[in-house]
Amino acid sequence: MQKNHLIELLTQKDNRKKKSKIPARLDFLQSATGAVLVLFIMFHLLFESSILLGKDAMYALTKAFELDFVFKGGEPLFIAFLAFGVFVVFILHALLAMRKFPSSYREYSAYRLHSQMIQHEDTSLWFIQITTGFMMFFLGSIHLYTMMTQPDKIGPFASADRIYSDTMWPMYLLLLVSVVLHASVGLYRLIIKWGWGERQKSKWMIKAATIFYLGIGLVSLGAYMKIGYEHRGEYGKRYTVEANR
Amino acid sequence: MHRVYEDGGREIVLTIFRHNPNDEDSIPHFQDYPIIERPGMTLYIALTQIYTSMDHDVSFDFVCRAGICGSCAMVVNGKPRLACRTLTSEFSEGKITLLPLPTFQHIKDLSVDTGTFMNAMTKRVEGWIVNNSPQDISTIEKPIDPELSDEIFELDRCIECGICLASCATKVMRPNFVGAVGLNRVARFSLDPHDSRSDEEFYELIGDDEGIFGCMSFMGCQDHCPKHLPLQKQIAYMRNKMVKVC
């Protein structure tokens, strides 16, 4: 082991008697990865709700992400690359955010009892933040792995089959609620943590955005369920614009 | 329903946490004290009445009775507050439960030791003017821009009552966290042009998970501060400064 590391172990400072800058970098990175994921999920939910504008709109958007304007017919591999990139940020964010989780029963119990005693909204919101964060360790990983390994199975019928016939809808329902709540509380924390905006106004706007995104997410999930139910007899058959005319 | 007397007084009940950690035979429990509320009665007055006429053994702290010293901070129906600044009439049901401030060493009943923490915190964040350049005390101190001066004095209004710490879930979970009182103190001196410390030097004081990076922005501090200090703004200000040090 390097001597410098031993000095830090023994004195909590480096060989120049200076504190490590790592905590500052970790704090910044946690916020930066969180902000990237919030932005991503805001657009992702809007894009996936394009099904509400019709199958053609959702199909056109899917093909645009497959870069069909460059490669004829589109290349699903680009979706896999995008999913991989998001997965890397997702894992990094989870790793950094874990530093803040209660690390023992004593810490968990202290938080819960304090939260129940003080009845303070921003304190109580943390329970939602850590619970949804924990759920997404699993739910987010399932979804991202599916997108990385089966990027070709995205489309009005392919997505609907996955959700309805492959019985993925309970997972997506939980993921939707978790991701929207986690992103909302996380964005609010980012704003007050770095002093980006006025607190009460930010809270009001984020509450409105939460209702909006939960709303379009649930209605879209319902739309995919309906398409999946109607398409169950032709499971696996892909959507084409011509066939839908 | 509580009885209301002809002179406007009503019957209220103060439920007080009783325990002496220094007495092996003491069992933590709650004790009810029914009293007659009078117009303008504060919790401090109510407690004094209990102490003088009902139970001379009940312990609580106070000094100034005017929200300046911060000694009488306690948890009132779940919320950390100053007893001298809390009217009993705020509680329409007439039931008031009082606890000692969590996160501090408990002395007895409602009395806690905030001094040991505040003393250690002051030393830890070096909460005083540091200026190593030669000073001539026979000359007038360098003037400060009045607006900046107001900003500094605003942060100096902290009375170190400990309510920000008792309201903070981070502090409750992680006892070594310096809390808003410490971060506010550092922000105050980092604003002061009389203090020559650089951001790098302030980083050495609070640049870790027990300092600025431990704060999880629960905002219990700002929402319960009896002096309404802009703690969120100061913590964000210091966090931005400390991240830029890297």
Q: For the segment B8-41, what is each residue's pLDDT rounded down to a tens digit? A: 679 999 999 999 999 999 999 999 999 999 999 9
The 10s digit of each residue's pLDDT in A72-103 is: 888 999 999 999 999 999 999 999 999 999 99
Amino acid at B227: K
In a domain, A15, yes or no: no
* Cβ atoms < 10 Å from Cβ of B117: 23
Q: What is the CATH number of the domain that holds A61?
A: 1.20.1300.10
Chain B environment of A192 (Cβ under 8 Å): 217, 219, 232, 236
B114-245 sits in which CATH class? mainly alpha
The 10s digit of each residue's pLDDT in B210-232 is: 999 999 999 999 999 999 999 99
In a domain, A17, yes or no: no
In a domain, A12, yes or no: no
Q: Does the beta carbon of A27 lie under 8 angstroms from any beta carbon of chain B?
A: yes
Report the alpha-carbon distance of residue A96 to residue A47 in Å, rounded: 28
DSSP label at residue A237: P
Chain B environment of A27 (Cβ under 8 Å): 213, 239, 243
Q: How far is CA A45 from CA A52, A183, A204, B182, in A?
A: 12, 12, 20, 41
In a domain, A19, yes or no: no
What confidence category does residue B166 fall into, taking pLDDT thresholds of 50, 70 and 90? very high
What confidence category does residue B133 fall into, taking pLDDT thresholds of 50, 70 and 90? confident
In a domain, A58, yes or no: yes
Supply the pLDDT for residue A8.
82
Contact present, A74 and A66 (Cβ < 8 Å): yes
Which residue on chain B is closest to A18 by alpha carbon?
Answer: B204
Report the alpha-carbon distance of residue A132 to residue A130 in Å, rounded: 6
Element (H, E) at B242: helix B231-244
Range of the domain at A134: 24-244
Answer whether A189 sits within 8 Å of B172, measured CB to CB.
Answer: no
What confidence category does residue B2 fall into, taking pLDDT thresholds of 50, 70 and 90? low
HSE of B159 in the Cβ direction (CA atoms, 13 Å)? 18
Structure tokens at A244: 């839908």
Which residue on chain A is closest to B168 by alpha carbon?
Answer: A123
**Numbered ranges of CATH 3.10.20.30 in chain B:** 10-112
Contacts of B233 (CB under 8 A, 6+ apart): A195
In a domain, A102, yes or no: yes
Structure tokens at A15: 């060989």
Helix (H, G, I), strand (E, B) or coil at A169: helix
Considering only CB atoms, B207 lies closest to which of A24, A122, A189, namely: A24
Domain count across chain A: 1
Query: Which ipTM score applies to this complex?
Result: 0.92
Give the residue-averaged pLDDT of B49-70. 96
In a domain, A8, yes or no: no
A positions 54-113 inside 8 Å of B (CB): 99-100, 102, 107, 110-111
Question: Which of the residues in chain A have pLDDT under 70?
Answer: 243-245
B10-112 sits in which CATH class? alpha beta
**Numbered ranges of CATH 1.10.1060.10 in chain B:** 114-245
Q: What is the pTM for the complete model shown?
A: 0.92
Least confident of A140-144, B115-119, B141-145, B204-208: B141-145
Q: Does the beta carbon of A117 lie under 8 angstroms from any beta carbon of chain B?
A: yes
Amino acid at A177: V
Report the alpha-carbon distance of residue A110 to residue A160 in Å, rounded: 44
Chain B environment of A19 (Cβ under 8 Å): 203-204, 207-208
In a domain, A13, yes or no: no
